[in-house]
Amino acid sequence: MNKKLAVALTSSAVLVLALSGCSSDEDKFTVDDWAKKYCDAAQPQIKKRADAEQLIRSTASDGKPADIQSADSKAFQDLSDADKGHAAALRAAGTPPVDGGEELVKNAAAEFDAESTAYLNLKKQVDALDVQNQQNFADGLKPIAEGLAKIEVNQSARQKLRSGETGTAMAKQPGCKPAKPSPAASSAT
């Protein structure tokens, strides 16, 4: 009977050790894991944003109104799509295991959603401009430029996400590196 008890105790001890070995730190979802998941999903959006911004920059401000309208309209649509994609990538990556991680993701995703809507509004405005009258067209671009400047200022939630542990983890990921615009975006005009 003592042998059976000794075997049972030994087997239990081995089982406890084996189970505790299975729940090692390797099974934990780390900030680096979160950053990889987010950055891998965000990379196409980063590229799309770089191409859209290059399209806006490369369109000659003294060019034909129809060319400017076409380039800006496409760029604003692409920027809207990229922001929507960023919001989706953040939500899909889940909550980073940091203090306030859920709030960080929620706020940054909401900011991307709001920016996506703002770019769509700019697209509607640029599409409605009168390309037949150069002066009216130029006057119509002023509020669009102001709207664009407002969008670029409102990034506080993303700044918080890009700082601290999440920012450090994201900086290590190739998917979160700035993208170079494709040659097609540079020569689209």
pLDDT band, very low/low/confident/very high, at 95 (cuts 50, 70, 90): very high
pLDDT score recorded for residue 26: 52
The candidate with the shortest Cα–Cα distance to 186, out of 44, 46, 60, is 60
pLDDT at 22 over 70: no
What is the distance between the alpha carbons of residues 158 and 179, in angstroms, rounded to a whole number? 18
pLDDT at 8 over 80: no
pLDDT score recorded for residue 189: 43
Phi, psi for 163 (deg, rounded to 5): -110, 175
**DSSP secondary structure code for residue 175 in this structure:** G
What is the distance between the alpha carbons of residues 73 and 115, in angstroms, rounded to a whole number? 15
Instruction: Write down the pTM of the prediction.
Output: 0.80
pLDDT score recorded for residue 182: 77
Higher pLDDT, 13 or 88: 88
Tell me how many degrees the CA angle 135-133-58 measures, rounded to the nearest 5: 70
pLDDT at 161 over 80: yes
Buried/exposed code over 161-172 (b: 16+ C-beta within 10 A; e: otherwise): bbeebbbebbee
Mean pLDDT, residues 106-132 taken together: 96
In the predicted model, what is the mean pLDDT of the chain? 85
Is residue 104 within 8 Å of 161, Cβ to Cβ? yes
pLDDT score recorded for residue 15: 41
Cβ neighbours, 10 Å, residue 44:
15
Higher pLDDT, 114 or 153: 114
* pLDDT-above-70 percentage for the chain: 83
pLDDT band, very low/low/confident/very high, at 178 (cuts 50, 70, 90): confident
Higher pLDDT, 6 or 173: 173
Coil/strand/helix, residue 155: coil
